[in-house]
Structure formats: structure tokens, C-alpha cells
Chains A and B, each alone.
Chain A
Amino acid sequence: MAPTNKYSILLPTYNERNNLPLIVWLLVKYLGSEYEYEIIIIDDGSPDGTLDVAKELQRIYGDDKIILRPREKKLGLGTAYIHGMKHATGNFIIILDADLSHQPKFIPDFIKKQAEKDYDIVTGTRYVGSGGVYGWDFKRKLISRGANYVTQVLLRPGVTDLTGSFRLYRKLVLEKLINSCVSKGYMFQVEMMVRARQFGFSVAEVPITFVDRLYGESKLGGSEIVGFLKGILYLFATT
């Protein structure tokens, strides 16, 4: 493993006052002294004072480890990544949700996997091997598996989990992908993988567990499903 690799972790936040200190603590725990890293917090003007929490964490862990890149208001996820990446000093970028559904303990797996064949992207998968979810009822699992199956059949993306957003990217690769993606929301994550394949980037997967702490507070209603289908059909017709 090249000791010169540095990992910039991007954490876009909106109203994550309670989760942010925990996710940062976990990141520090699992990246510790073994890896070179920085945590870039992109807060979109959260009314709950997430930014104050971030500042406090910066005081505790140091401004070489915690970097703040706040924005005025809630803007798109893609632009949050670009905004956060502007001053990132790592050659790799790690993206995960700040709400603790993604566990930092898997990051060393991502890093090892990347080094195996010098992959451009390593993506977490809930659908393979020891991967899985916690806190999902039957309906949620059915929608997830059904949507995943439709995506697999129509797009043949070469990866098993497209909507997950726990990923490691080579920095230049992520920049190129973001600039070529037009979808919003979680379709953005799908499009990133489809475009990655189009550009010929190498992608590997590691199993992850997804812990849903909202306990079945399903965000998947009828309009989300329609939106998903529209997004898939758009990619189906254009890529």
C-alpha cells in the first residue's frame, strides 16, 4: 500500500446536530493513526446549529483533521461534493451519509479493496455477501429489491448496489463524473455508476451493512417510485 495516499472524507450535512459528533468520532476511531485523512464538513445552513457542532469538533480534533466548508442554504448534493472537494488535499475522496446509516468501520475495507487492483471507485453494497440492512420491514425490502432488479435488467451497470452512497473515489474520477451527471437525488448516485462504466473506470464492491435508525419511517412513497422509474428510463434511453 502506498503510504502517500490521503483520504478526504466528504460529509454533506443538513440538520445533523446529534449525529455529526458521533460520525466524526467513529471516523477518527477507524481511520485513526493508520491512514492519512481529513474530514470535510459541508453544512447547508442547517437551522439546528450543525455548524456550531462542527466548529466544536474542529476545536477538539484540530483544523488539520476537520475542515469546514459551509454553504448559505440547501443546494444540490453534486454541488456539495464539488464545493467540498475544491480544497480537498487527498488524492482519494470518501463519501458517506452523516446520519450513521453508513458505518465508518467499513472504510478500511474500501481502502484495502482499492489497493488490490488500483481501482478508480470502490462502492459499498448491501446486496452481496455479508452486506445487508437493519430496520427495514418487508415492504421496504421488496421495493428496494424490486427497484434494484429493474435497474439491473435495464441498465446492466456491472455493480450490485446503485442507490447506495457509501463510496470511495479517486479524486479526479469523482470530479469528472460529477460534471457529467445531470440526475438529482439518489438517481444521481445511480447515474454516477452508469457513467463510470461508460467512461471505462474500474469499479469494485465491498459488502456493507446499512443501519436504518429511523425504523421503518419509509421515505419511499408513490411519487418516489414514479420519480425512480422516470430516472431509470431516462438513463435507459440515453446511456
Chain B
Amino acid sequence: MTVPKLFQWLAGVCSFMTVWLAYVVGYFSVNLRKEYHEIIVVLPLYLLISFACYSLAVIGYRVATFNNCEEASIELKQEIEAARKDLEKKNYKFISDWK
């Protein structure tokens, strides 16, 4: 039995947020330069925004590169024609459907 994806996510997010929160409220202190400290304070928000941007970029790229299979449609139309002719030859009873 595998752990459901929901709990995998919760475990990941919770452990990150625990460490982050502990740092932000000063539970432990690390000797960091002021700039780094400022970044860490807003890190969850940064990550969230980066993920959103990444997602939008990926989806946008994939929509733009989604193959438009015109040839497949043309080929299918030709095959439909051939199929109808052949079925007619085989005395298919319902040819009136496409007449």
C-alpha cells in the first residue's frame, strides 16, 4: 500500500513550513547576512509565485506546440470515401445512410 499523494504533499509542505516558521519566530538562530534573512522570511511566497509562473509557462508552451494534425483529418476523409465505396461493393444494406 502506497502513501496517497495528498499525504506525500502534506508531509513535504508541513516539514518545510515547520522549519521556516521555527526560523522566522526565532526558535533557532543562524548567523546569516541580513539580505539572506530577508529572503528567507518571504521564501514561501517566492516559491509559490515561482511555481505559478513555471506552471503558466509550461501550459502556455504546450498549448502553443500542440500538434494540429491537418493531414490526419484529410487522410481520414479519404479513407471514409474509400470505405463507403468498398462497402457499397459488398452490398452493404444501409448505403442510403450516406447518400
Known: A26-B83, A53-B94, A145-B59. A155 touches B5 (CB 8 A): yes
Interface residue count on the A side (C-beta < 8 Å) = 45
Binds A, one of B11-19, B22-30, B41-49, B85-93: B85-93
Q: Which residues B58-86 have CB closer than 8 A to chain A?
A: 58-59, 62-63, 66-70, 72-73, 76, 79-80, 83-84, 86
User: B69, A146: Cβ atoms under 8 Å?
Assistant: no
A142 interfacial by beta-carbon distance below 8 Å: yes
User: B72, A149: Cβ atoms under 8 Å?
Assistant: no
> In the bound complex, how far is the Cα of B91 from the Cα of A152, in angstroms?
49
Known: A22-B80, A133-B67. A142 touches B94 (CB 8 A): no
CB of A143 to closest CB in B, whole Å: 10
User: A22, B83: Cβ atoms under 8 Å?
Assistant: yes
> In the bound complex, how far is the Cα of B69 from the Cα of A29, in angstroms?
21
User: B5, A149: Cβ atoms under 8 Å?
Assistant: no
Known: A53-B94, A135-B73, A239-B2. A26 touches B63 (CB 8 A): no
A25 interfacial by beta-carbon distance below 8 Å: yes
Known: A21-B83, A127-B62, A135-B73. A154 touches B5 (CB 8 A): yes
**Residues in B neighbouring A57, C-beta threshold 8 A:** 92
CB of B57 to closest CB in A, whole Å: 11
Known: A198-B2, A239-B4. A132 touches B66 (CB 8 A): yes
**Residues in A neighbouring B91, C-beta threshold 8 A:** 60
Report the nearest B residue to A17, measured CB to CB: B97
Report the nearest A residue to B70, measured CB to CB: A134
User: B4, A236: Cβ atoms under 8 Å?
Assistant: yes
